[in-house]
A and B are shown apart, each in its own frame.
Chain A
Amino acid sequence: MKPGTAWVGAPLWVGAPAVDVNQTAIGESIPQAAIGAQTVRDDAPLLTSNVSSAAEGRGGASAQW
């Protein structure tokens, strides 16, 4: 992996992604998030910070949406 460049893992996209990226296309159904419904969604984004790998000196954050 070459640092400093965007690495889009095309080979890793074997099979269809679970998320329907067509939902934002014109004429398609309006995504739930686009109508402000995310505030009442059951699957609200889960943000995890302080996920540092202290032993290796690494840090960062995780989120699930």
Chain B
Amino acid sequence: MPSGDEVLSSQDVGYVEAVVAREQQRCGVDFSVYLGDLPDGRESALGLHSALGANAENAVLMAIDPGRRITEIVTGERSRVWVDDRACALATLSMLSSLQLGDWVGAIDRGLTTLGDQARHPASLHVGLPQD
């Protein structure tokens, strides 16, 4: 059984960070990923999301607890407009096969990509202020 430091290599972490940055740039939602202990399940994930502070309302947190085999996605008040609960459910479904194989990086990649696909903002048809 590997220790925690051996679960993800630095290369894996770099890859996950690149996926987070890519999806954030693609859809304008702040994604955060947590891989670790969630002792109280959903409540723990909500607490982590709150820890994002002022950015929480525009953030989407993906939390995975490999030990308890649970995945939580938490959306903020604003990000929920772009990433609704159905999109979150779809993202978790896309992650499950990878999670069952212990492929954490693959699961995160699939989940974030799905969220990014769903979260793309509709194009603005009017960006200027009306003329006086």
Counting chain B residues whose Cβ lies within 8 A of the other chain, the interface size class is 35 or more
What DSSP secondary structure best describes chain A's contact surface? mixed
Q: Can you list, as one digit per residue, whether each of A1-30 has a CB less than 8 Å from chain B (1) or not (0)?
A: 111111111101110111111111000000
Q: How far is the CB of A19 from chain B (nearest CB, A)?
A: 5
**Total A-B residue pairs with C-beta atoms closer than 8 Å?**
170
Top 4 closest pairs, chain A to chain B, by CB:
A13-B4, A9-B36, A12-B36, A57-B77
Pick the contact of A31: B89, B91, B100 (CB < 8 A). Answer: B100
User: A52 to B85, Cβ gap below 8 A?
Assistant: yes
Contact of B85 among A4, A5, A31, A60 (CB under 8 A): A60
Question: B95 in the interface, Cβ–Cβ < 8 Å?
Answer: yes
Residue in contact with A17 in the complex, picked from B1, B56, B84, CB distance below 8 Å: B1
Q: Tell me how many residues of A have a C-beta within 8 Å of chain B.
A: 43
Is B126 in contact with chain A by the CB < 8 A criterion? Answer: no
Q: Are B80 and A65 in contact (CB under 8 A)?
A: no
Determine if B1 and A8 form an interchain contact, defined as CB atoms under 8 angstroms apart: no
B49-87 interface code vs A (CB 8 A; 1 in, 0 out): 101100111011000001111111111110010001110
CB closest residue in chain B, given A20: B1
Chain A neighbourhood of B46, CB < 8 A: 53, 56, 58
Which of B19, B84, B85, B100 touches A38 (beta carbons < 8 Å)? B100
Q: Mark B24-68, 1 if CB is under 8 A from A, else 0.
A: 100000111111110001100110110110011101100000111
A61 touches B88 (CB 8 A): yes
